[in-house]
Each structure stands twice: as structure tokens, then as C-alpha cells.
Amino acid sequence: MPIVSASDQTVEEWRPGVRTRLLASAATGAESLCIFEQWSEPGRGAPTHTHFEVEEMILVVDGRAEVWIDGETSVLERGGTALVPPSAPHGFRNAGAETLHTLTALPDAAPPVRYEDSGEVMTIGAADGAHRRGARR
């Protein structure tokens, strides 16, 4: 069982204004979970995307998030949770004035993700890097 100390975890800015810390994934030795934290500056977040066959849970640890799932939009405050069904287009943005802190969990150690704006398919938490480009459509 892999144990990863906080000092071994890095926080990376992989999108402008969004910092991510990967807690569990294929890259950390997980077999069926991808869990990560994100800190999004005001107005920043995750653009509309899809994870194909897996569900996703997004917990607002601190701040205020505007979340959209399959065309429906809600605002979540600290402690609010969004449950995203498989294949549903979704995303979120920081709707507050302070940094938004979220915790996300998916039941796949390297879930594919397709971003609506680019159509690009990537893999989150792949064993060979935090994001790996894929060919899935």
C-alpha cells in the first residue's frame, strides 16, 4: 500500500489561476481512485469537460463555486457537493472573491477527460505524468 507524505506531494498550476495537488491516481500507485485538490482564483476553475464512463464528486472545501452539470447550473458554498453522472458535460468556476478550494474524487486511477473547448482527450493522473494526451473520442 503506497503511503505518500505531504512533503512528497507537489502543487502544480496546470491551468492559469488553478493549482492542483494530486493525492491518489495511477501515478501515486492507486488502482481505482483519482483524488485531487484544487485551488482556483476568482473567475477561474474547470472548463466544460466530460469523463466518459465514470462518476465524479466535487466537494467545496472552502469558497463559493458556480457548478454546471449537463446544462443545469447551481452555486455551492463551503461543504456543498456536486455529484456528476457518467458522461455528463460539466465544469465549475470560482464565483467568490476569495480562493476556491475543492476536493475531487473519481472511481478510476487514470480517468480520461475530454475538454469541450478543444475536443482534446487527456488522462488525469496517468502513471507517466499528471496529464497524458489520449486518442479516445
Q: What is the CATH number of the domain that holds 91?
A: 2.60.120.10
Residue 127 lies in a domain: yes
What pLDDT is recorded for position 127? 73
Q: Which residues of the chain have pLDDT under 50?
A: 130, 132-137
Q: How many other C-beta atoms can be found within 10 angstroms of the C-beta atom of residue 65?
A: 25
Residue 40 lies in a domain: yes
What pLDDT is recorded for position 130? 43
Output the pTM of the full model. Answer: 0.88
Residue 43 lies in a domain: yes
Rounded distance, CA 50 to CA 91, Å? 9
Residue 6 lies in a domain: no
What pLDDT is recorded for position 14? 78
Q: Which domain holds residue 49?
A: 11-132
What pLDDT is recorded for position 124? 87
Residue 1 lies in a domain: no
- The total of structural domains in the chain comes to 1
Rounded distance, CA 32 to CA 112, Å? 13
Residue 2 lies in a domain: no
What pLDDT is recorded for position 118? 86
What pLDDT is recorded for position 7? 66
Residue 85 lies in a domain: yes
Question: HSE of 70 in the Cβ direction (CA atoms, 13 Å)?
Answer: 10
Residue 99 lies in a domain: yes
What pLDDT is recorded for position 4? 65
What pLDDT is recorded for position 79? 98
